[in-house]
Amino acid sequence: MAHDRELSQPAVEPAVPKPAHKRRSQAGQTLPMMMFFMVSLLGVAGLVIDVGGWYLQKRQVQAAADASALAGVSRGLPEWQRALKLQKRASRVGFDWRSPGPVLDKLHEELDEVRHELAAGASPARIADEIGDVLFVGVNLARLTGVDYSQALRGANAKFERRFRRMEALAAADGTALQEKSLAEQEAYWNRAKAEDKAGQL
């Protein structure tokens, strides 16, 4: 019976080591691949260094060609940030106001020019040009008063939204929609919302 059990068990073939020439063949295939990837990696690293050096050299050539105090101010910035950087660069060479007073005078001057263009029926391009001057002076006013332009505008947006939503709520309380009210009635709602906001009730 023991002999029968031995016959019924599957025979386990002993591990046969691969011939030396096959091991050498596999190693011969793997090593070149590893060397290839290493060389490729070094090549890419070298390329990055070369590109970086080329970019630095290009910037140096550009800086040498453009000696303006405004050189290097990126055109990819949001326009209000670019306006701020341009003003700071101009300030380095002394072209700047020293207090907010003259900036306010300039702001009134630019607003008067907008009024003039509107009264004259100027083209949209002319009006846009004048309004652009107003906005540029606005950035300057914020800079000279130590105000963050973006933060100030964010606050103004939040204040307007808060008060406008209150206007809608007041109209709804009167049983109507805000758009059904006349401009004078909407102004009355606005003044109520503004007073409540200033009193800290919104």
Residue 12 has pLDDT above 80, yes or no: no
Residue 17 has pLDDT above 70, yes or no: no
Quote the pLDDT of residue 54. Answer: 57
Of the pLDDT bands very low, low, confident and very high (cuts 50, 70, 90), residue 29 is low
Tokens 């929609």, residue?
177
In angstroms, rounded to a whole number, what is the distance separating the alpha carbons of residues 196 and 64?
58
In angstroms, rounded to a whole number, what is the distance separating the alpha carbons of residues 190 and 161?
11
Quote the pLDDT of residue 167. Answer: 98
Question: Do 32 and 130 fall within a single domain?
Answer: no
Task: Report the CATH number at residue 97.
Answer: 1.10.287.1080
Tokens 């900036």, residue?
103
Question: Do 49 and 97 fall within a single domain?
Answer: no
Cα angle at 169 between 166 and 170, to 5 degrees? 90
Quote the pLDDT of residue 32. Answer: 47
Cβ atoms 144, 99 nearer than 8 A: yes
Which of 16-30, 52-66, 170-184 is modeled with the greatest confidence?
A: 170-184
Question: Do 47 and 105 fall within a single domain?
Answer: no
Quote the pLDDT of residue 51. Answer: 53
Question: Do 51 and 88 fall within a single domain?
Answer: no
8 falls within a domain: no
* Alpha helices (H) along 66-182: 79-92, 100-119, 124-144, 149-173
Quote the pLDDT of residue 170. Answer: 98
Residue type at position 41: L
Question: Do 190 and 152 fall within a single domain?
Answer: yes
137 falls within a domain: yes
Quote the pLDDT of residue 67. Answer: 85
Of the pLDDT bands very low, low, confident and very high (cuts 50, 70, 90), residue 112 is very high
Question: Do 136 and 91 fall within a single domain?
Answer: yes
Question: Do 36 and 101 fall within a single domain?
Answer: no
5 falls within a domain: no
69 falls within a domain: no
CA within 13 Å, CB half, 21? 0
Sequence-distant (≥ 6) Cβ neighbours of residue 90 within 8 angstroms: 69, 70, 96
Helix axes 124-144, 79-92, angle to 10 degrees: 60
Cβ atoms 103, 141 nearer than 8 A: yes
For residue 41 the two structure tokens come to: 């990696």
Question: Do 59 and 85 fall within a single domain?
Answer: no
Cα angle at 94 between 91 and 98, to 5 degrees? 75
183 falls within a domain: yes
Of the pLDDT bands very low, low, confident and very high (cuts 50, 70, 90), residue 46 is low
Task: List the domain range (segments joined by +) for residue 36.
Answer: 20-64
Question: Do 55 and 88 fall within a single domain?
Answer: no
Question: Do 47 and 84 fall within a single domain?
Answer: no
73 falls within a domain: no
Of the pLDDT bands very low, low, confident and very high (cuts 50, 70, 90), residue 122 is very high
Q: How many domains in the chain?
A: 2
Of the pLDDT bands very low, low, confident and very high (cuts 50, 70, 90), residue 66 is confident
